[in-house]
Amino acid sequence: MIAEIDVHGVFIPALLAWALTALPVTAFLKRLLRWLAVYRLVWHRRLFDFALFVIVLGGVTALSQWIVP
């Protein structure tokens, strides 16, 4: 489903809004993982961060289907 969100007369793609929502969540999780020293076990940090963002974006997208019917 292709969705658009109306922000005061300006239509933005829903995926952009979801990605902007996922960014602070991912930043918080990255900081938490750094504090817990999980990155010592990760082989490629940038790839891990990208995968984390994709997982969080998928979660935000799934949540949006429950919140906004």
In tens, the pLDDT along 15-24 reads: 999 999 999 9
Nearby residues of 22 by Cβ (< 8 Å), 6 or more positions away: 53, 56, 57, 59, 60
Bridge partner list, 12: 5
pTM more than 0.75: yes
**Residue 2, pLDDT score:** 67
What's the domain count of the chain? Answer: 1
In a domain, 47, yes or no: yes
**Which residues constitute the domain of residue 35?**
24-69
Residue 64 corresponds to which tokens in the numbers above? 């949006």
Q: Which residues of the chain have a pLDDT value below 70? A: 1-2, 68-69
Alpha-carbon torsion (49, 64, 62, 38), positive or negative = positive
In a domain, 44, yes or no: yes
For residues 60 and 25, the answer to whether their CB atoms sit within 8 Å is: yes
In a domain, 15, yes or no: no
